[in-house]
Amino acid sequence: MRLGRTFAIALRHLYLVRGSPARVLPLFVWVAVDMVLWGFISRYLNTVASAGFDFGPLLVGAVLFWDFFARVMQGVTTAFFEDVWSRNFLNLFATPISIPEYVAGLVVSSVATSTLGLAVMLLLSGTIFGLHILAYGLGLAPFLAVLFVFGIALGIFASAVVLRLGPASEWLVWPIPALLSPLAGVFYPLSTLPRFMQLLSRLLPPSYVFEGLRKVIAGGAAPGAPLGYGAALAVLYLLAACGFFVRVHRHAVRTGLLARYSAESVS
């Protein structure tokens, strides 16, 4: 794998974002809206809750980490959708670039956009609501790492689905983070869920992240074993997603789907 080809994919996305305010604004606007909304909700809840209990770290912290996960996933899919919208696949895969190089380029693009979004969220949470997540130290890095790996895995999987079913299936991708959030226990312990939903939650790496975050915010130690299990699940999903993308690409090449890729190419 040649890194120059990988960074060429990321550089193309950078040029697209830099030259279009319509692409730049979503990197900031939605995360800002979420942070402000949940920040004021936490302030209101503090006024009606028992004295001494602060909803800020729980709610704003949960939104920050969940939005980071969503930005990671959407960083991969948005870079992929740029090729979908421009009907660029035939040109792209006519070059010597390999699938690992192309997917790695999508990941590099996601690293850049998600890091930028995370910086904005940290700035807003600290300056407006006085919540300094970095005060918890490097102990939060493993939590972010698990969300990052799982977000990349979902982004690659979602891109493969669109490559297989055609651009019309794009609407299947955007709701994925919202659909997973109830099972991930972003705002409440998993014990709140019915038993069958708890079993499904145990298959999602973010559920281990947010259970552990609540313990850290409450002053406890980070749960090493559960977080390690979540990390192993995230890596497993990443490998499975990469394998699925490769299989879908081979099918697209073998059947000629790349050559006739359009909104009607669903078979």
pLDDT digits (tens, 9 = 90+) for 100-139: 999 999 999 999 888 888 888 888 878 877 777 776 667 7
pLDDT band for 267, please (50, 70, 90 cuts): very low
DSSP assignment of 12-28: HHHHHHHT-HHHHTHHH
pLDDT digits (tens, 9 = 90+) for 46-100: 887 766 677 777 888 888 899 999 999 999 998 898 888 887 777 787 788 888 9
pLDDT digits (tens, 9 = 90+) for 157-200: 999 999 888 877 888 888 999 899 999 989 888 989 999 999 99
% of the chain residues with pLDDT over 90: 31
Our CA dihedral for 51, 52, 56, 59, rounded to 10 degrees, sits at: -80
pTM, two decimals, is 0.89
The three-state (H, E, C) secondary structure of 205-267, written as one string: HHHHHHHHHHHHHCCCCCCHHHHHHHHHHHHHHHHHHHHHHHHHHHHHHHHCCCCCCCCCCCC
Supply the DSSP symbol for 171. Answer: G
| 118/123 Cα distance (integer angstroms) | 9
If you average pLDDT over residues 40-50, what whole number do you get? 81
Query: Does position 262 have pLDDT exceeding 70, yes or no?
Result: no
Our CA dihedral for 145, 231, 69, 75, rounded to 10 degrees, sits at: 80
Residue 240: Cβ within 10 Å count: 13
